[in-house]
Structure 1
């Protein structure tokens, strides 16, 4: 384990481990592929999630670590759900949007105190990243374009959260994810509109 935690380089006083570097690379590839809705995105998500689970457990971000197991399960589900042709984006109905929003808010409010009790490093932002990412991931597997605006919000919070914790390289990654989420939002919205007209 110590060989993957070895420092590969230092940037502005922050030591980037081999584990974090590989996690960032695999995550970036997976998210970019997700914008294009190609099925091969899912193995990249699974690989990066396993790596990030190890990283987050080591730095005591418990909810972020647990989230990675949700991503692994969603990666397997997404692989079979999307099929060989990849995603066919569609929109949620208004009542479905309200249901997903309620699930997100209730779960976030319920989870944060639990994380505090087990001694997690940052309960409210960590629980929001966990719950928001879980909902966004499920929406992505279900091929709903609303996954991307939610990813935008979650990634913005994660950028701030990981930066505040001092994990600058991962914070930078989530800043990049904010930009990628905008691209995914636009692309999937356009494809959803096209699919409605067919």
Structure 2
């Protein structure tokens, strides 16, 4: 048992360090952020599977794959157009929220019915909406940070509930950094609009 706790703690610390590197570089709009995203996400897959948060484990596998896409996309866009920050219309957000909500309900029902998942509905909510927020992040859509703020605030409780205290602190930090990220990207977006 001590070996498992010790291994989980080491993995949690390493994943936390990589994920902090990711968010700091993402806010600064650096392509290198995606390499930290890959490392932190792969470590997190193991961590969440061990904690029986299967939707979260799947989510972090998705993050690892999307980090590869993000890295390639940001490199290509940097060469083509400077990888500009964009925004979505309210209608696009309403449609996206409806789809993510339906996915959350379906995923939560499936994991509640067919697995021993802990907190399946909250886990499914954070997972489904994180897919959306990740897409917005990769496409450098300003509103990604608003979604992340809500998701991160919700995830603090979920991680504390599963005794992932270091991750709960990380996500609390992410919640604050979501505000910083929004204003940083908003500044870039406004400069683009002027020039």
TM score, norm. by length of structure 2: 0.90
The Cα of 1:87 is off from its aligned counterpart by 4.2
Name the residue aligned to 1:80: 72
Name the residue aligned to 1:102: 98
Name the residue aligned to 1:11: none
Is 1:184 matched with 2:181?
yes
The Cα of 1:119 is off from its aligned counterpart by 1.9
Which has a greater percent of helix?
Answer: 2
Q: Secondary structure at the match of 2:142?
A: coil
Cα deviation digits, residues 116-160 of structure 1 (max 9, x gap): 022211111111111121111100111101100100000101111
- Larger deviation: 148-157 or 117-126? 117-126
Change (3 A) 1:103 1:76: same
Name the residue aligned to 1:7: 6
Q: Any gaps of 5 or more consecutive residues in structure 1? A: 9-15
Name the residue aligned to 1:150: 147
C-alpha distance in 1 between matches for 2:191 and 2:34: 24
Q: Any gaps of 5 or more consecutive residues in structure 2? A: none
Aligned residues: 189
Name the residue aligned to 2:49: 57
Change (3 A) 1:87 1:115: farther
Name the residue aligned to 2:40: 48
C-alpha distance in 2 between matches for 1:55 and 1:87: 33
C-alpha distance in 1 between matches for 2:17 and 2:151: 19
Is 1:113 matched with 2:109?
yes
Name the residue aligned to 2:161: 164
TM score, norm. by length of structure 1: 0.89
RMSD: 1.8
Q: Secondary structure at the match of 1:17?
A: helix
Which has a greater percent of strand?
Answer: 1
CA contact (8 A) 1:90 1:195 kept: no
